[in-house]
Structure 1
Amino acid sequence: MRIVIIGATGHIGGYLVPRLVAAGHEVVALSRNGTPRYRDDPAWQQVQTVTADREAEDAAGTFGARIAELSADVVVDLVCFTAASARQLVDAVRGRTRLLVMCSTIWVHGAPTAVPTDEDEDLEPWGEYGTGKLEIERMLAEESARPDGLPSIILRPGHISGPGWPIINPQGNLEASVWEKLARGERVVLPGFGLETLHHVHADDVAQAFQLAIERGADASAGLFGRAYHVVSDRALTLRGFAEAVAGWFGHTPDLEFAPWAEFAVAVGPEAAATTLEHVLRSPAASIERARTELGYEPRYTSLEAAREALDWFVANGRVSI
């Protein structure tokens, strides 16, 4: 198939493009800069690259037509954040493209009422990102249900992890010092009792799910159109369990302090606390049963394995000092 990937040079695309090329597909990689940012691969020599500024072209009303002119069998959209942007794309490629595969997020869920959360539960997001993604999902589901509509499949990654990509740490934020303290056996403060959860996924597992959605979804009889799928590791991690595992990688028993939220926020500072709060309020733990059953998705990496590979890269590249 001829596959156009919008936002192809990011973390997911770094794994998805080589996968699709190896499978014999013709790939058109569209991005702002035209070169992979996180992971190079010889497969890029076999890819047609197209540069575009989506934000500017959306504003001018020309982006959808640009994609339609590329005559794709399948369009993969990794960087759509508003329903208006999605609508422009859909209107332009309807009838000219067999399938749209859209990247959403597990943040379309609000605070969980039961875990693991399935795709149809707790769809009450807060914040611009999750709210915008859910609006896109609902528009695409309605579009897919129309007899003359554009078929689509929606994938919801969790905390994407891997070499070169900022990784959510056991404190629920991006502070490098947390990894360093755990590696040295120094004290790390966690909110509450450390039982809030994070749900990581390796970027290659996300790419695996996109490849499965493309190849299985292109068959209309598969019944996947308009469906949403979680794409995460097999199991989520508690903050406490995550911290204990990381300290163990370096031969330490972790020195953990558990603090009520107000004390935790003072201890880590406002920026880190705000990032932690976004994660612990959601405490995601998403089911992948639907993706396993309907797509054949099977993550190669556990949450800890994805985190370990990412941390090794940060250490090797001087971003974390052990």
Structure 2
Amino acid sequence: MRVVVIGSTGHVGSYLVPRLVRAGHEVVAVSRGRATPYHDDPAWDEVERVVLDRDALEAEGRFGAEIAGLRGDAVIDMICFTADSATQLVKALRGSTGLHAHCGTIWTHGLSTTLPMREDDPKHPFGDYGVQKKEIEDLLLAESRSGGLASTVIHPGHISGPGWPVINPVGNLDPTVWTTLATGGRLRIPGSGSETMHHVHADDVAQLFELAVAKPEVAAGESFHALSEQALTVRGFAEGAAAWFGREADLEPVSWEAFRAGTDEGHADASWQHLHRSQVGSIEKPKQQLGYRPAYSSLDAARQAVASLAERGQVDLGGATLTA
């Protein structure tokens, strides 16, 4: 198949494009500039690279037509964030593309009412990101199920892996949390420590997109969670991360008020956004229907990310060494 990947050099695309090449597909990698993928791979030498400024072209009403002109049997969209953007692409691809795969988010669920969350459970998202991604999902699934453009939606959890910061055990991107765990310091955690986060390695997200492209007749009109086998609680995540350095986590549960008072406002808000949702997702549907088998646990994915950050000097581990 000829597969067009929009947002090809990002976290997931850096794994996805080589996967598609190795699976025998002809790949067209679309990006806003000549960004280097997160990971070197000889497969990129076989890829057609196309530079398109999505924002500018959408403002002119031409982005969908540009993508349709690339003649993809399948189009994978990693960077669509509004229903208007999705609509422009769908109209242009309708009747000419076999499968349109969209990258969503488990935040379309909002606050969960049953655990683990299933893809078809009632959803009550909040916040612009989750709400808009839910609007896109509704639009695409309705389009597909009514006989229009065949579309599928892949919902990742907290994407992790080497090359970029990872959501830490208190639900934000503060690098000093890793320093505290690595050096045996006391870590203040908001709430009880039983709140959950569901991470996933970027390569496992890429795996699920690859499987959807391989089975378009199964994927069309459906949504799927891209997650690790198990979520982590705040306490379990912190204890697992401390063990990387041969330490035990020294945790101090505090109220949200106390946590906010002693934490940077941006980090505190991120913690609330992640931990207030306290999500755990099921992956039975993609396992049964597409053969999805995540290769990384949540802790494995986070460990790779922290090791990469330390190698690049973006996190201070206080001289500690990852030992587990």
The residue number in structure 2 matching 1:12 is 12
CA-CA distance at 1:35 after TM superposition: 3.2
CA-CA distance at 1:277 after TM superposition: 0.4
**Equivalent position SS for 2:57:** helix
Deviations 1:147-195 (A, max 9, x none): 3x10011100000001112200001100000000000000100011111
Deviations 1:103-128 (A, max 9, x none): 00000011111211111224111111
Deviations 1:207-229 (A, max 9, x none): 00000000011xx3x3x321010
Distance 2:78 2:132 in 1: 14
Superposition map of 1:93-108 within 5 A? 93-108=93-108
Aligned-residue sequence identity (percent) comes to 52
CA-CA distance at 1:269 after TM superposition: 2.5
Distance 1:64 1:164 in 2: 30
Distance 1:66 1:297 in 2: 32
CA-CA distance at 1:270 after TM superposition: 1.3
Distance 1:80 1:301 in 2: 26
Deviations 1:283-316 (A, max 9, x none): 1100001010111101000000001111110111
- Aligned pair count reads 317
Counterpart code for 1:141:
L
Q: 1:262 aligns with which of 234, 257, 265?
A: 257
Relative to structure 1, the CA distance from residue 214 to residue 30 in structure 2 (aligned partners, 3 Å threshold; closer, same or farther) is same
Superposition map of 1:135-214 within 5 A? 135-147=135-147, 149-214=148-213
The residue number in structure 1 matching 2:236 is 241
**Equivalent position SS for 1:27:** strand
The residue number in structure 2 matching 1:315 is 310
The residue number in structure 2 matching 1:287 is 282
Deviations 1:224-260 (A, max 9, x none): 3210100000000000110011111111111110001
Structure 1 portions without partners, runs of 5+: none
The residue number in structure 2 matching 1:74 is 74
TM-score by length of 1: 0.97
Counterpart code for 2:244:
W
Counterpart code for 1:179:
W
Distance 1:284 1:144 in 2: 27
Deviations 1:62-109 (A, max 9, x none): 000001111110000000001111111010011111110110000001
Structure 2 portions without partners, runs of 5+: 318-324
Counterpart code for 1:58:
E
Decide whether the 8 Å contact of 1:162 with 1:309 is kept in 2. yes
Between 1:247-256 and 1:58-67, the stretch displaced more is: 247-256
Distance 1:133 1:24 in 2: 31
Decide whether the 8 Å contact of 1:6 with 1:75 is kept in 2. yes
Distance 1:79 1:97 in 2: 18
What RMSD in Å do the two structures reach over aligned CA positions? 0.9
Decide whether the 8 Å contact of 1:111 with 1:122 is kept in 2. no
Distance 1:19 1:169 in 2: 28
CA-CA distance at 1:33 after TM superposition: 1.2
Distance 2:104 2:36 in 1: 21
Superposition map of 1:117-132 within 5 A? 117-132=117-132
CA-CA distance at 1:34 after TM superposition: 2.9
Superposition map of 1:32-111 within 5 A? 32-111=32-111
The residue number in structure 2 matching 1:297 is 292
Distance 2:37 2:266 in 1: 26
Counterpart code for 1:29:
A
Counterpart code for 2:102:
M
Distance 1:82 1:301 in 2: 30
Distance 1:281 1:244 in 2: 20
Distance 2:71 2:26 in 1: 11
Distance 1:248 1:2 in 2: 45
The residue number in structure 2 matching 1:216 is 215
Q: 1:229 aligns with which of 224, 228, 242?
A: 224
Distance 2:267 2:13 in 1: 28
**Which aligned runs of 4 or more in structure 1 are off by greater than 2 angstroms?**
34-37
Distance 1:21 1:38 in 2: 16
The residue number in structure 2 matching 1:251 is 246
Decide whether the 8 Å contact of 1:110 with 1:122 is kept in 2. no
Counterpart code for 2:160:
S
